[in-house]
Amino acid sequence: MPWQFGRQWQEVSINPKAISFHREMGITQVDFLRTLPSVVNGLALKMNNGEAFITDGHRKLVIRPSNSRKRMIGSLQLPVTDIDFLFLGYSEAEAEEFMARVDLYFRRGGG
């Protein structure tokens, strides 16, 4: 371990493998962030400058929604928001399980 100013640094293990997902969703940023607490189901959730930070023990999840824009289909305007999900400390299966929950909560049906 390296020494700095006469003290031995503590070694910190950092998982360099981060898993990321990107979604283009038909929802406004405000509506997405309003619905997010239901999706995380009681996990520690903090919001800061339009980003969401979720902690679950040693695992962390950062969710970054972009500013909403409009998609025009003829005279119809639909909201669209790009959302990035960054999983730290999650296995690939755990991250995919969380994303399946996100997809389930934000699924839109028409009739």
Q: Give the per-residue pLDDT at 8.
A: 46
Q: pLDDT tier at 109 (50, 70, 90 boundaries)? A: low
pLDDT at residue number 107: 83
Measured on CA atoms in the order 19, 24, 26, 29, is the torsion positive or negative? Answer: positive
Q: Where are the domains of the chain?
A: 16-105
Whether residue 90 contacts residue 98, with contact meaning beta carbons closer than 8 Å, is answered with yes
Whole-number Å distance between alpha carbons of 50 and 36: 12
User: What distance in Å separates the CA atoms of residue 43 and residue 57, rounded to the nearest whole number?
Assistant: 9
Burial level of 65, CB count in 10 A (0-12/13-18/19+)?
buried
**Top CATH class, 16-105:** alpha beta
Tens digits of residue pLDDT in 37-92: 999 888 899 999 889 999 988 899 999 999 899 999 999 999 999 999 999 999 99
